[in-house]
């Protein structure tokens, strides 16, 4: 596995927290993801918090997907089965391609940490307008798992044999 260095592509990444209760002050998952993005040598270009409303989520994600200034989007929250969790319903219809293996792999590695409770996670990844989208659960620990065990490598342009950083449209770099 190759590590991020000065020859790696620095991606422009947006973070969206989906929650009816979180604020900028209480959004530990969003803060953790922004810090991880910067530690890996990428640029955090936007961060927002949105209520768990399908159309509000879809509006922000659609705007970011259309932006030439955003290569990747990471969402946190709204991927469970309770209450108003609706991140998959909001985002999956606007993806061009779904990354099936992301959800499968996340649940596999998450099983080591939380056991069978991982089956309640509806995490997913995909591509839309050559923008990479990963949707994670709202817990900080789940964001750490998703980033450290999957996303970090897949957004590293030097990771072999393949990664998503090299799929990003050149005019977005």
Q: Is residue 51 part of a domain?
A: yes
In a domain, 128, yes or no: yes
List the CATH number of the domain containing 98. Answer: 3.40.980.10
Total domains in the chain come to 1
Q: Which residue matches tokens 């946190």?
A: 76
User: Is pLDDT of 65 > 50?
Assistant: yes
What residues make up the domain containing 99?
12-172
Instruction: Choose among 69, 61, 36: nearest CA to 148.
Output: 36
* Structural domain includes residue 4: no
What pLDDT score does 83 carry? 82
Does residue 91 lie in a domain region?
A: yes
The shares of helix, strand and coil residues in the chain, as percent rounded to the nearest 5, are 45, 20, 40
Show Cβ contacts of residue 173 under 8 Å, excluding neighbours closer than 6 positions: 9, 11, 71
Residue 2 lies in a domain: no
d(CA 128, CA 137) in angstroms, rounded, equals 20
Q: How many residues does the chain have?
A: 173
Does residue 7 sit within a domain?
Answer: no
- Candidate from 7-11, 93-97, 146-150 with smallest mean pLDDT: 7-11
Q: Which whole number is the average pLDDT over 81-105?
A: 95
Q: What are phi and psi of 54, to 5 degrees?
A: -50, -45
At 100-118, the pLDDT tens digits run: 999 999 999 999 999 999 9
Predicted confidence at residue 1, as pLDDT, reads 35
* 3 found inside a domain: no
Please give the model's pTM, rounded to 2 decimal places. 0.93
Q: Is residue 6 part of a domain?
A: no
Sheet strand arrangement including 72-76: 43-50, 12-18, 72-76, 131-136, 124-128, 97-98
């Amino acid at each position: 596995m190759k590590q991020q260095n000065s020859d790696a592509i620095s991606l422009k990444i947006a973070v969206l927290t989906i929650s009816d209760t979180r604020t900028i002050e209480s959004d530990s998952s969003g803060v953790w993801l922004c810090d991880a993005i910067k530690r890996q040598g990428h640029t955090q270009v936007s961060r927002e918090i949105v209520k768990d409303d399908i159309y509000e989520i879809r509006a922000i994600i659609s705007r970011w997907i259309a932006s030439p200034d955003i290569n990747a989007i990471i969402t946190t929250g709204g991927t469970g089965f309770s209450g108003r969790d609706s991140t998959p319903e909001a985002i999956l219809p606007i993806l061009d391609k779904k990354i099936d293996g992301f959800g499968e792999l996340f649940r596999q590695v998450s099983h080591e940490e939380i056991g069978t409770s991982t089956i309640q996670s509806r995490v997913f990844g995909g591509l839309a307008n050559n923008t990479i989208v990963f949707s994670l659960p709202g817990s900080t620990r789940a964001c750490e798992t998703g980033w450290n065990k999957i996303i970090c490598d897949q957004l590293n342009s030097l990771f072999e044999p393949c990664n998503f950083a090299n799929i990003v449209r050149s005019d977005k770099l």
